[in-house]
Structure 1
Amino acid sequence: MSTSQAWTNWAGNQRVEGIEVLTPRTTAEIAPFLASCAAAGRRVRPIGSGHSFTAIGRPDDVQLRLDRLDRVLHADAGTGLVTVEAGIRLGALNRALDALGLAMTNLGDIDAQSISGAISTGTHGTGARFGGIATQVRALELALPDGTTLTCSPSENPDVYAAARVGLGALGVITTVTLQTEPAFGIRAREAGGALDEVLDRFDDDVAGTDHVEFYWFPHTRKVLTKHNTRVPLDDLEPLSRRRAWWDDDFLSNTVFGGVVGAGRRVPALVRPLARVSASALGDREFSDRSHRVFTSPRRVRFEEMEYAVPREHGLDVLRELVGAVERSRWRIAVPVEVRVAAADDIAVSTAEGRDSLYVAVHTAVGSPDREAYFATLEAIAGDVGGRPHWGKLHGLGAADLRERYPRFGELLALRDRLDPQRVLGNDHLAHVLGA
């Protein structure tokens, strides 16, 4: 079904009106539709949940919404291989897997994205032994602008598989994804406040001794919130009570925090004193629950974000430089800085391709006057050590810069020339980051 509509992304910083929108009901509709657009000289951008902050999903002509392609097509509990349609949201996927006694190996902290959008932009969680979500992909099917479909796996079109797992939606439209899952497991979570310097001093030991470690630094303070998640069997889990979970993860993390951010937007002078309140609001807690319930949390406060992956060995120095820059500045930053790690992988333009990585993510309230200078500062610091920007988060790099950061950047470009020579799947953002 095709209609003329407007579109905005989750953060509200990408908007467009008067586009043609197609929402297919089956995967079989996509390839013929792309061929018709190619014949008419039109451009198409696929979109999942619109959770990217960049214009990577912004259409300038036709938008292909994958919302209705949300089914689990096949699941093998013996091998753990599960095939799903590309538009299924991670939250729905997690629930479906849980009902099958299965789970994703690792997840990020938000489950609103579609599976195709999450892998195409390089979404990741944390853990020194674990890669991003795309490393859990074992096969995918692409609908191509010539009207054909292509199955990609390590044994079938392996060159496309090597790049299309984080393919930016530039090679074809992902219609189905086959994931390697594992038997459902639990996570024992330990969350606590701490002093920044102490957390940095023990960070490498914590990462080596715990499955999944991350922390949040509160700008204008020397306080952090640490999260240590350890994988455990499902026996004898001790989840939070409904009241405590609502209080911590909904009321404090969303309602109260949203009020803090809103107050800081209206009265900027309040940001720094309120930062101290935010840093102290969440108390220490320890609990255990099914993995996806611990990995992910609701996020209803809108923000804008930049995230850079830097070589693990330089990561804490990058953060220390950022802390110093914030302390010397007159900025008013209301949203914490998130620090995570991931294992090296072999995906052509993954942010962790070929190197263990540490991720530094900075956030501001939507429309913050300090965003440009703050984000540019992280970009410069990370750039000094070859930092790579998350494909779905704000950055200022173009194709020439990115080619230097990714040794295998040319693989993606060559495949794009082969699979979409007319740039049917292009937009202005892709022309900027991949070249015209």
Structure 2
Amino acid sequence: MRWHNWAGNQRADGIEVRHPRGTGEIATVLHEATVAGRRVRPIGSGHSFSGIGRPEQVQLVLDRHADLVDITPDGLVTVQAGMTLRRLNAVLAREGWALTNLGDIDRQTVAGALSTGTHGTGAAFGGLATQVRALQLVTADGTVLDCSADEQPDVLSVARLGLGALGVLSTVTLQAVPAFALGMVEEPLPLAAVLADLDGFMTSTDHVEFHWFPHTGTCLTKRNTRVPVSEGLAPLPRRQSLWEDELLSNGAYAGLIAAGRAVPALVPPLARFASTALSPRTATDLSHRVFVSTRRFRFRESEYAVPRDAVPDLLRELARLTDVRGWRLPIPTEVRYAAADDVPLSTAQGRDTAYVAVHLPARSDPTDYFATFERLAGEVGGRPHWGKEHGLDAAVLAERYPRFGEFTAVRDRLDPSGTLANAYLDRVLGAPAPVA
């Protein structure tokens, strides 16, 4: 079998693909692979840009292990780990619940989103891993661990964001909240004005982000305020949504990418034109409908979590170097905020965080641009998103993550033979150490 990820930059040939149904079949696949000395990589929807999901011998797909298990009266929702966020959001909405925060893509599986550190935006809100209350993990030898605050708490602590390196998630229990709406305000603003009081702007309401158009001084800002559903919804009219989100937004990016591929010199003037075409808009809708955006053009992405006060200088230097190096950047740079958390390999572990994400078209060579961005982010202690492109190894990452050793110690205990490893995990975690 052949496999490639969503962006097409990660590929594998000659792999065996397994589709287990139920925890028992997952355990069998892992046990057989460990006995045979074969490597297994679980995969969700393939939305990671890094090599984290790239299989080398056996690929384990949980598309037959993707059902709702339970929702309790206090909002604890348990699902099989192959369920997509898109389906989970729909299930929760029907029952009057929601996840308290989401990223802007809902095609990932629950397991994939958790394992790579998916997050949204909101200065007072953590990533998806902070919503985990329990999980069931199948380890490399086929052992099934039920992990909660009372049972295997050390494993729960690290497996909330486990990179697929500790075992295969079978079920996950998340804390949902009563369904809520978001009052959305989108408008273009000068980048200089946003950066002049970045912290004030990014904390001005519950969920704030902005997208800066390289080659311009303009950014599209998004401010979402949590409001009760009982106050009523006023969603964008379907015709307006189709026109603006599908035709203008996705179409404009696709057009910029195509034009830039044919004539790179057209990218800056077209980007300036696109930024002037933005218009303000407001709406109120169920939270998951506002959090999530449609992406119909393919791209590659690198994202770093940095201290919040580092963002203005980082963006100004990127803008300067874009002119100096002659980069042609048709896709905006995204900035989001997240609260500090206690998840050992979370990019927001122990510090309030800003996320800066840079993009290039899927068929581009991002080497110079991404490497320069990585260097700038590294100068301020940046931590790479595990599912996005980066070049760091275990030695560097151990310096960036105070609890790195806590994670690798659990990994060494649960998978001493490296059944669940691949080249990416060998690089970012190092080889398992023998357990005495």
What is the Cα deviation at residue 70 of structure 1?
1.5
- Bigger Cα displacement from structure 2, 238-247 vs 323-332: 323-332
Matched, 1:196 2:191: yes
Partner Cα separation in structure 1 for residue 250 and residue 258 of structure 2: 11
Partner Cα separation in structure 2 for residue 33 and residue 238 of structure 1: 48
What is the Cα deviation at residue 280 of structure 1?
2.5
Among 276, 281, 292, the alignment partner of 1:296 is 292
SS in 2 for 1:286: strand
What is the Cα deviation at residue 376 of structure 1?
1.2
What is the Cα deviation at residue 153 of structure 1?
1.7
Partner Cα separation in structure 2 for residue 415 and residue 231 of structure 1: 38
What is the Cα deviation at residue 186 of structure 1?
0.2
TM, length-normalised to structure 1? 0.97
Identity %: 59
- Residue 50 of structure 1 corresponds to which residue in structure 2? 46
Counting only pairs closer than 5 Å after superposition, residues 17-416 of structure 1 correspond to structure 2 as: 17-76=13-72, 78-234=73-229, 235-369=231-365, 371-416=366-411
Partner Cα separation in structure 2 for residue 314 and residue 276 of structure 1: 26
Partner Cα separation in structure 2 for residue 153 and residue 361 of structure 1: 33
SS in 2 for 1:261: helix
Partner Cα separation in structure 2 for residue 240 and residue 295 of structure 1: 14
Query: Mind listing any 5+ residue stretches in structure 1 that lack a counterpart?
Result: none
Partner Cα separation in structure 2 for residue 221 and residue 282 of structure 1: 13
- CA deviation map 1:207-235 (0-9, x unaligned): 22300000000000101000000000113
C-alpha contact (below 8 Å) 2:253/2:330 kept by paired residues: no
Partner Cα separation in structure 2 for residue 83 and residue 120 of structure 1: 16
Aligned-partner residue type, residue 383 of structure 1: G
- CA deviation map 1:82-106 (0-9, x unaligned): 0001011111110010001000000
SS in 2 for 1:293: helix
Matched, 1:6 2:6: no
- Residue 434 of structure 2 corresponds to which residue in structure 1? none
What is the Cα deviation at residue 205 of structure 1?
1.5
C-alpha contact (below 8 Å) 1:252/1:282 kept by paired residues: no
SS in 2 for 1:106: coil
- CA deviation map 1:161-197 (0-9, x unaligned): 1111111000000011000000000000000001010
C-alpha contact (below 8 Å) 1:310/1:382 kept by paired residues: yes
Partner Cα separation in structure 1 for residue 313 and residue 157 of structure 2: 31
What is the Cα deviation at residue 316 of structure 1?
2.6
C-alpha contact (below 8 Å) 2:199/2:308 kept by paired residues: no
Q: CA RMSD in A?
A: 1.1
**Runs ≥4 residues deviating over 3 A:** none
Partner Cα separation in structure 1 for residue 140 and residue 133 of structure 2: 23
SS in 1 for 2:171: strand
Partner Cα separation in structure 2 for residue 356 and residue 322 of structure 1: 22
Provide the aligned length of Structure 1 versus Structure 2.
430
- Bigger Cα displacement from structure 2, 313-322 vs 267-276: 313-322
What is the Cα deviation at residue 394 of structure 1?
0.2
SS in 2 for 1:169: coil
What is the Cα deviation at residue 405 of structure 1?
0.4
Partner Cα separation in structure 2 for residue 251 and residue 52 of structure 1: 26
Aligned-partner residue type, residue 230 of structure 1: T
C-alpha contact (below 8 Å) 1:265/1:365 kept by paired residues: no
Aligned-partner residue type, residue 416 of structure 2: P
- CA deviation map 1:285-332 (0-9, x unaligned): 011100000000111110000000012232333222222222332110
- CA deviation map 1:28-50 (0-9, x unaligned): 21012101111111110000000
Partner Cα separation in structure 2 for residue 277 and residue 7 of structure 1: 38
